[in-house]
């Protein structure tokens, strides 16, 4: 199995639904979240390949806004701009999942 290109890869849902009553992450600061993750990661100047990027619907729209982190396959839900720093510091830097924001299944 080949080594992943990125040590951590964040997918921030920015899906914006049109013509539907169902709401989507894009309406709830998905783009702002993406920018905030990029900024926080850049500011930390970490010595590992990390990428935060926009993504389409992650399939858990009821819990928006949503963020997935790989390679762990962790899903964070109801993510607010004020949560970005904690996710980056805890999950990305310290490798500790932010339990309070995890998708409960
Ligand atoms: S619209 Fe974001 S998870 Fe579906």
Report the pocket of ligand 1 as residue ranges, CB < 6 Å.
13, 15, 24-25, 57-61, 64, 66
8-101: which CATH number, 2.60.40.10, 3.40.30.10, 3.40.50.261, 2.70.70.10? 3.40.30.10
Q: What is the residue whose two structure tokens read 């619907």? A: 57
Taking only Cα atoms into account, the Rg of the chain, rounded to an integer number of angstroms, comes to 13
pLDDT, tens digit, 9 for 90 and up, residues 9-35: 999 999 998 888 888 998 888 899 999
Name all contacts of 33-37 with Cβ < 8 Å and 24+ positions apart. 33/65, 33/67, 33/79, 33/81, 33/84, 36/81, 36/84, 37/10, 37/12, 37/67, 37/84, 37/87, 37/88
The atom number, within ligand 1, closest to the CA of 25 reads 2
SS (H, E, C) 64-75: CCCEEEECCCEE
Per-domain residue ranges of the chain: 8-101
From atom 1 of ligand 1, which residue's Cα is the shortest distance away?
24
CA-based angle 37:10:88, to the nearest 5? 45
Tell whether pTM > 0.75: yes
pLDDT, tens digit, 9 for 90 and up, residues 36-94: 999 999 999 999 999 999 999 999 999 999 999 999 999 999 999 999 999 999 999 99
First to last CA, the chain: 29
Rounded to the nearest whole angstrom, what is the distance from the C-alpha of residue 94 to the centroid of ligand 1?
27
Q: Is the pLDDT of residue 1 over 80?
A: no
């Amino acid at each position: 199995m080949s080594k992943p290109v990125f040590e951590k890869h964040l997918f921030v849902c920015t899906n914006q639904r049109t013509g539907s009553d169902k709401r989507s992450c894009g309406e709830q600061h998905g783009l702002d979240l993406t920018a905030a993750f990029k900024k926080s990661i850049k500011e930390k100047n970490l010595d590992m390949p990390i990428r935060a990027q926009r993504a389409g619907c992650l399939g858990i729209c009821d819990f928006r806004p949503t963020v997935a982190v790989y390679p762990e396959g962790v899903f964070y839900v109801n993510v607010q701009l004020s949560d970005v720093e904690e996710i980056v510091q805890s999950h990305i830097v310290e490798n500790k999942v932010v339990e309070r924001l995890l998708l409960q299944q």
